[in-house]
């Protein structure tokens, strides 16, 4: 359609064939959906109803939450930061501090592209940029109590712009809550049997977007041991096209009679603007490498080398599991008193598959960011978008990370920005229909010689008084009496057979 005259110019008919068949649409089949079957996900429409044997699991916080909120300032377990919300990126964390020390200047979800792999026209054009095209903030859900998270919840409202450019209130677009995250650390002294166990807890800052068929759940999780996890969850309904009855296809999976879910990728970009005890930071690529046996330095062959390479110029890097590649962000002018190494934070770039489309293809040209796991650029105000500011109907990525890196800025001992790229190659399964179970990715940013001991060493190891034994509700001791861990030879002690380190 000509958008100005609203005149229909051409009708592109979709091919509905299978393996080995023409890329062109064949004879028009007026009964194209006759072989399709109904697929429901709304509970009251499910023919089998919902399962009945799941008992309630409640999160009770009788004394309220452990966080404090004042406007957009959040404080919790030594963490202190601000949260904001904008139409493009959704929720953003600012000025993240632990105690009185800065960790992160700005942390955000920057972009995501979803290129599809169906080679037939016009499906070759299927490629979403959820942040640049749709706007993560604009598409954010209005979250509801007792639905999207459990426990004591704080919601934040925001203002977005409507299509006329007018301000529009967006209620409950961010939720904040605490979550039990399993065991934080534990040790049982095998000589005395004394077990000390603590629980990790995370503060979750979450927002959820619905972009047409898909849902994405984005969360920043700050933990009680100085770590920050950036989490993405993909769910919703996979995108499908019609396929003739009985046929299969190389372009995807038949997930329901007549419905072909095409193969595609979801490639995310996280924007990390660190401030490790100030802005004077350096990015270091750390590899662990084998060392050949050598009579002077490695006489028995067990030694391996940890090689640290500072990133001096803006550049891209790729994950490498064969080298245990770690990205460290250090402050070269601050030394950890204990290790005598620079203080820092680190993360392991996720070794997920990068963009598969041919480098010359339109898909690849539009998403240069999706072709490497790590981009290191120099901070420049306003540079927040991995695929550039304007992605809608783009023909090439402009002003994205590839252009930023091409400036060859000096990034050592300056103000670097790191872009972490990861995602999933999603070749659908029948189980992804009619609505897809969450696919989770986590970027784990952890302190590395930032503290002088385990920052969670002072977590209480108190017995949880509400935990009960199955069936009788009795209170057998699991980790000691009076709220402390004690010697216990039964459930939590050692079994007396420890003869080896291990």
Shortest distance (Å) from residue 116 CB to Cu ion: 9
**Three-state SS at 133:** helix
Place of tokens 């409507």: 162
Span interacting with Cu ion, options 163-171, 222-230, 353-361, 424-432, rule CB under 5 A: 424-432
Token pair of 444 as six digits: 């784990």
Shortest distance (Å) from residue 48 CB to Cu ion: 26
> Are 107 and 271 contacting, i.e. CB atoms less than 8 angstroms apart?
yes
31 C-beta neighbours (distance < 10 Å), count: 7
**Which 331-370 positions form the footprint of Cu ion (CB under 5 A)?**
none
With residue 365 as reference, give the H or E element that holds it: helix 362-366
Residue 130 annotated among the catalytic residues of the structure? yes
The single residue of 105, 116, 214, 220 carrying the catalytic annotation is 214
Site size toward Cu ion (CB under 5 A) is 1
Q: Which lies closer to Cu ion via its Cβ, residue 341 or residue 429?
A: 429
Shortest distance (Å) from residue 426 CB to Cu ion: 3
Q: Which segments of 189-325 are extended strands (E)?
A: 195-211, 214-223, 228-236, 240-242, 252-256, 259-262, 264-274, 282-290, 304-310, 315-317
Residue 265 touches Cu ion, criterion: CB under 5 A = no
Span interacting with Cu ion, options 322-330, 380-388, 421-429, 494-502, rule CB under 5 A: 421-429
Residue 260 touches Cu ion, criterion: CB under 5 A = no
451 C-beta neighbours (distance < 10 Å), count: 18
With residue 406 as reference, give the H or E element that holds it: helix 401-406
CA distance 48 to 51: 8
Q: DSSP state, 131?
A: I
Q: Which lies closer to Cu ion via its Cβ, residue 378 or residue 426?
A: 426
Span interacting with Cu ion, options 7-15, 31-39, 426-434, 448-456, rule CB under 5 A: 426-434
Token pair of 392 as six digits: 């809608």
Q: Which lies closer to Cu ion via its Cβ, residue 210 or residue 481?
A: 210
Q: Which lies closer to Cu ion via its Cβ, residue 171 or residue 437?
A: 437
Span interacting with Cu ion, options 118-126, 205-213, 419-427, 477-485, rule CB under 5 A: 419-427
> CA geometry: angle at 423 spanning 418 and 428, to 5°?
170
Contact with Cu ion (CB under 5 A) among 92, 426, 448, 488: 426
Burial 415-440 (b: 16+ CB within 10 A, else e): bbbbbbbbbbebebeeebbbebeeee
Shortest distance (Å) from residue 263 CB to Cu ion: 9
CA distance 129 to 369: 12
> Are 43 and 50 contacting, i.e. CB atoms less than 8 angstroms apart?
yes
In the complex, which residue's CB is closest to Cu ion? Answer: 426
> Are 186 and 197 contacting, i.e. CB atoms less than 8 angstroms apart?
yes
Shortest distance (Å) from residue 427 CB to Cu ion: 9
Residue 345 annotated among the catalytic residues of the structure? no
The single residue of 118, 130, 133, 223 carrying the catalytic annotation is 130
Shortest distance (Å) from residue 270 CB to Cu ion: 18
Q: Which lies closer to Cu ion via its Cβ, residue 373 or residue 426?
A: 426
Q: Which lies closer to Cu ion via its Cβ, residue 209 or residue 329?
A: 209
Q: List residues near Cu ion by CB under 5 A.
A: 426
Give the active site residues. 130, 214
């Amino acid at each position: 359609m000509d958008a100005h005259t609203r005149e229909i110019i051409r009708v592109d008919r979709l091919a509905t064939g299978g393996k080995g068949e023409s890329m062109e649409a064949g004879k028009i089949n007026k009964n194209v959906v006759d072989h399709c079957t109904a697929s429901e996900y709304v509970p009251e429409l499910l023919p089998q109803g919902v399962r009945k044997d799941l008992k309630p699991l409640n999160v009770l916080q009788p004394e309220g939450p452990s966080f404090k909120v004042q406007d957009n300032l959040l404080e919790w377990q030594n963490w202190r930061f601000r949260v904001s919300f904008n139409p493009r990126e959704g929720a953003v964390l600012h000025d993240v501090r632990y105690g009185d020390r800065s960790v992160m200047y700005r942390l955000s979800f920057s972009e995501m592209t979803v290129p599809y792999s169906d080679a037939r026209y016009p499906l070759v054009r299927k490629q979403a940029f959820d942040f640049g095209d749709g706007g993560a903030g604009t598409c954010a859900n209005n979250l509801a109590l007792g639905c999207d998270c459990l426990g004591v919840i704080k919601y934040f409202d925001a203002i977005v712009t409507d299509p006329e450019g007018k301000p529009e209130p967006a209620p409950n677009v961010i939720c904040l809550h605490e979550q039990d995250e399993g065991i934080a650390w534990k040790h049982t002294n095998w000589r005395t049997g004394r077990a000390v166990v603590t629980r990790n807890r995370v503060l979750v800052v979450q927002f959820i977007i619905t972009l047409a068929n898909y849902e994405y759940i984005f969360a920043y999780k700050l933990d009680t041991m100085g770590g920050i996890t950036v989490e993405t969850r993909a769910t919703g309904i996979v995108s499908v096209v019609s396929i003739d009855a009985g046929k299969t296809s190389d372009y995807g999976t038949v997930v329901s009679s007549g419905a072909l879910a095409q193969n595609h990728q979801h490639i995310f970009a996280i924007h990390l603007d660190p401030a490790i005890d100030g802005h004077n930071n350096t990015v270091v690529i750390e590899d662990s490498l084998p060392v050949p046996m050598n009579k002077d330095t490695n006489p028995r062959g067990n030694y391996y080398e940890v090689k640290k390479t500072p990133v001096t110029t803006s550049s891209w890097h790729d994950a490498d599991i064969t080298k245990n590649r770690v990205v460290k962000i250090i402050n070269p002018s601050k030394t950890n008193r204990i290790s005598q190494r620079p203080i820092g934070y680190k993360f392991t770039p996720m070794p997920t598959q990068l963009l598969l489309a041919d480098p010359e293809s339109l898909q690849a040209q539009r998403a240069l960011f999706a072709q490497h796991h790590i981009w290191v650029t120099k901070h420049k105000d306003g540079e927040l978008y991995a695929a550039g500011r304007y992605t809608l109907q783009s023909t090439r990525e402009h002003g994205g990370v590839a252009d930023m890196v091409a400036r060859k800025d000096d990034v050592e001992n300056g103000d670097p920005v790191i872009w972490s790229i990861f995602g999933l190659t999603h070749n659908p399964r029948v189980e992804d229909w009619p609505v897809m179970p969450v696919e989770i990715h986590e970027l784990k940013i952890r302190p590395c010689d930032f503290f002088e001991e385990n920052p969670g060493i002072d977590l209480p190891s108190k017995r949880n008084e509400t935990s009960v034994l199955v069936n009788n509700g009795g209170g057998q001791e699991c980790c000691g009496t009076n709220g402390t861990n004690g010697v216990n030879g039964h459930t939590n002690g050692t079994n007396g057979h420890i003869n080896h380190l291990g």
